[in-house]
Amino acid sequence: MEEQIAVATINRETYRTELRARKHVLIADEPPDVGGRDLGPRPGDFLRMSLASCTAITLRMYANRKGFDIEQIEVEVSTSEEPGKTLYHTNIEIKGQLTEEQRARMMQIAKLCPVHKVLTNPIEIDTALEVHA
């Protein structure tokens, strides 16, 4: 199984962070109102994009396997705060022909994407710090 590692590197340029995963490189940043240059999505945006893309891919895989007549799947994820928790709101729009039974199944499948499972189960983060002079 392929290693699942992401690396973030930030130098002296305020908030511009290079992200690497496998052979891909992306930039994260903050908007100007908090001192960044808006060169890329904010870290929270990546989390929302992760859930949105995972949901869309999971639905497309299922639809393809079942032969559903679906032209497009769009998944929008937003967040809001409540005391003591963050709420993720997922809105799925499907363009295509689905029966009521297929629609109900697609709703079930959306909740089975790996990122949804991670975000709805207990998470532990083990953090280590190394300092090099």
- Quick one: 73 and 107 in the same domain? yes
- Quick one: 50 and 90 in the same domain? yes
- Prediction pTM value: 0.92
pLDDT for res 83 = 96
Please give the DSSP secondary-structure letter assigned to residue 40.
Answer: S
pLDDT for res 30 = 97
The C-alpha atoms of residue 36 and residue 14 are separated, in whole angstroms, by 6
Which amino acid, one-letter code, is at 96?
A: G
- Quick one: 34 and 75 in the same domain? no
Angle in degrees, 0-180, between the axes of helices 43-66 and 100-110, rounded to the nearest 10 = 140
* Rounded average pLDDT per 10-residue block, the chain, 133 residues: 89 96 96 97 97 98 97 98 95 97 97 95 94 92
> Containing domain of residue 25, as a range?
1-40
- Quick one: 22 and 86 in the same domain? no
The C-alpha atoms of residue 5 and residue 74 are separated, in whole angstroms, by 27
The C-alpha atoms of residue 47 and residue 53 are separated, in whole angstroms, by 10
* 8 Å CB contact between 106 and 59: yes
Number of domains the chain is built from:
2
